[in-house]
Amino acid sequence: MNTRILGKDGLEVSAVGLGCMGFTQSYPPYPERKDAINTIRKAVDLGVTFFDTAEVYSYGKNEDLVGEALQPVRDKVVIATKFGYDLSETPDLSTSARPVALSSRPEIIRKAVEGSLRRLRTDHIDLYYQHRVDPNVPIEIVAETVGEFIKEGKVLHWGLSEAAPATVRRAHAVCPLTAVQSEYSLWYRKPEAELLPMLEELGIGFVPFSPLGKAMLTGRFNKNTKFYATDFRSAIPRFQGDNFEHNMELVEYVECLAKQKRTTPARVAIGWLLAQKAWIVPIPGTKRIERIEENIGGADIQFTEAELSDIRRHLDNIEVMGGRYPEDQEKMTGL
| Alpha carbons 101 and 225: distance in angstroms, whole number | 33
Confidence of residue 330 (pLDDT cuts 50, 70, 90): low
Nearest CA among 13, 6, 72, 5 for reference residue 37: 72
Is residue 57 part of the annotated active site? The answer reads yes
Quick one: pLDDT at residue 228?
Answer: 84
**What's the pLDDT score for residue 182?**
97
Q: How many CA atoms lie within 13 A of 327 on its CB side?
A: 0
Q: Over 80: is that where the pLDDT of 333 sits?
A: no
Tell me which of 138-142, 190-194, 232-236 is least confident.
232-236
Q: Sort 331 into a burial class: Cβ within 10 Å, 0-12 / 13-18 / 19+.
A: exposed
CATH of domain 3-215+277-302: 3.20.20.100
**pLDDT greater than 80 at residue 154:** yes
- Residue 96 is predicted with a pLDDT of 44
Please say whether the beta carbons of 171 and 230 come within 8 A: no
Amino acid at 203: G
CB 229: neighbour CB atoms within 10 A? 6
Residue of 27, 57, 128, 184 marked catalytic: 57
Question: Is pLDDT of 82 > 60?
Answer: yes
Cβ atoms of 62 and 33 closer than 8 Å: no
Q: Name 224's Cβ contacts closer than 8 Å, sequence gap at least 6.
A: none
d(CA 6, CA 306): 27
% of residues, the chain, pLDDT over 70 = 95
Band (95; pLDDT cuts 50, 70, 90): very low
pTM: 0.94
Residue 93 has pLDDT above 70, yes or no: no
**What is the distance between the alpha carbons of residues 233 and 57, in angstroms, rounded to a whole number?**
16
- State how beta strands 11-14 and 50-52 pair: unpaired
Residue 64 reports pLDDT greater than 80: yes
Return the exposure string of 320-329: e unless at least 16 CB atoms fall within 10 Å of the residue's CB, then b.
bbeebbeeeb
Phi/psi for 37 (5° steps) reads: -60, -45
Q: Give the pLDDT score at 295.
A: 97
pLDDT in tens, 111-133: 999 999 999 999 999 999 999 99
pLDDT tens sequence across 206-237:
999 999 999 999 989 988 888 888 888 988 99
What are the residue boundaries of the structural domains of the chain, listed by start? 3-215+277-302
Cα dist. 141→131, 186, 289 in Å? 15, 35, 41
Model confidence band, residue 92 (pLDDT cutoffs 50, 70, 90): low
End-to-end CA distance of the chain: 31
